[in-house]
Amino acid sequence: MRAIVLREPNRFALEEIKDPVPNTGEVEIRVRLAGICGTDLHVLRGHNPFVAYPLIPGHEYVGEVLKAPEGSSLRVGQRVIVYPGKGCNTCKACREGRTIHCPQFEFIGVSRSGGGFAEKVVVHENHVIPLPDNLADIEASLIEPLAVAVHATRRAGMSENITNGPIVAIIGGGTIGLLIAQVAKKFGASSVILSEPLAGRRLLAAKMGIDAVCNPAEEDLADFVAERIGMVDIVFDAVASPATFLSSEKALRPGGRLVAVGLPSSKTMGIPYELLFKKELSAIATRTYFRSDFKDAIDLARNKAVALTALISAVLPLAEFREGVKLLEAEPERYTKILIDPVV
């Protein structure tokens, strides 16, 4: 089969490799669509500290079952997505469904090979999640990042039953930021503000019904919200830089919550302490998701509660994977999410 193989940072190519062979309890899946995300770009460029080389990257994908274990509830031809987190299955975190807290946690396509930028994948049946029939492939390909948004919003203390909804700001209008903005709205936010320097992404946010959009190149987020509503209750920082952490703290009301969504580029980077202390702010980190977040993401997508297809900028064949990476890095204003189709 054909697959994108990453040998070391910046050294990746389309290669012809042997088809994966399922072992006991494993499912063979044909990949139908796979999304390139910001994590993939960091993996390819050697900026993700958790990568194990060599590997086939890719963790946002939808496929169809080619072969299932005997006695499985899965059937050949069934459309599925894959939960990419893997733990020991025995520790307290794993037993409670908190795989990301397992000391032996691995992530398919990052710290463990077997990712979705390939014609076929093999995963254990426990990682396979069936899809409803009314969810198109192009929407299903975004369930994984939507689960990230669901998890982040829940980490902030929000839920569907919230009353007197908080005022929320999101820093960064990429795929994750735009999805968090929509999920926060569905989870009861009274007002949602997005801070994003790229005009194309601000326009996309406005089309998604986000209440206000700030251009941080022209106006500080704290000044922007102060003129309109005062201060915000929750800030989701999907950029995670020293500048955005400071901007988040300035925009938050006393007792507010800073939710760090992005992975900082530096291991030594910290959140400025003075305002954190002065305002008694809560700083919360959010990392990927729990398995349960996928169910909520599927429900949101199936009910058309969030706009997903608007995030798709292009669909390219597997042979043009490198071009897709180039477009995302060179033209982020035009390209938010690029999908790879290994079938063509």
**Phi, psi (5° rounding) for residue 253?**
-70, 160
Distance CA 116, CA 114 (A): 7
Domain ranges of the chain: 2-142+308-341, 154-285
The catalytic position among 24, 39, 153, 309 is: 39
> What pLDDT is stored for residue 269 in this prediction?
80
pTM over 0.85: yes
What's the confidence (pLDDT) of residue 161?
Answer: 67
Listed in sequence order, the residues at least 6 apart from 72 whose beta carbon sits closer than 8 Å to its beta carbon are 27, 125
Q: Contact 233/168 with Cβ under 8 angstroms?
A: yes
Tell me whether the CATH fold assigned to 2-142+308-341 matches the one assigned to 154-285: no
Q: CATH assignment of 2-142+308-341?
A: 3.90.180.10
Average confidence (pLDDT) per 10 residues, the chain, 344 residues = 97 96 96 96 92 95 97 96 95 94 95 95 96 96 98 92 85 97 94 96 93 95 91 96 94 97 79 94 95 96 95 97 98 96 92
Class (C level, CATH) for 154-285: alpha beta
Using the Cα atoms of residue 115, residue 337, residue 210 and residue 261 in order, give the sign of their dihedral: positive
- The per-residue pLDDT for 163 is 67
As given in the structure block, the two tokens for residue 297 are 């993401």
> Which residues are registered as beta bridge partners of 112?
108
Q: What is the pLDDT of residue 140?
A: 97
For residue 80, how many other CB atoms are within 10 A of its CB? 21
What residues contact residue 161 under an 8 Å CB cut-off, 6+ apart?
188
Q: Is 99 a catalytic residue?
A: no
CA atoms within 13 Å, Cβ hemisphere of 91: 13
42 is known as an active-site residue: yes
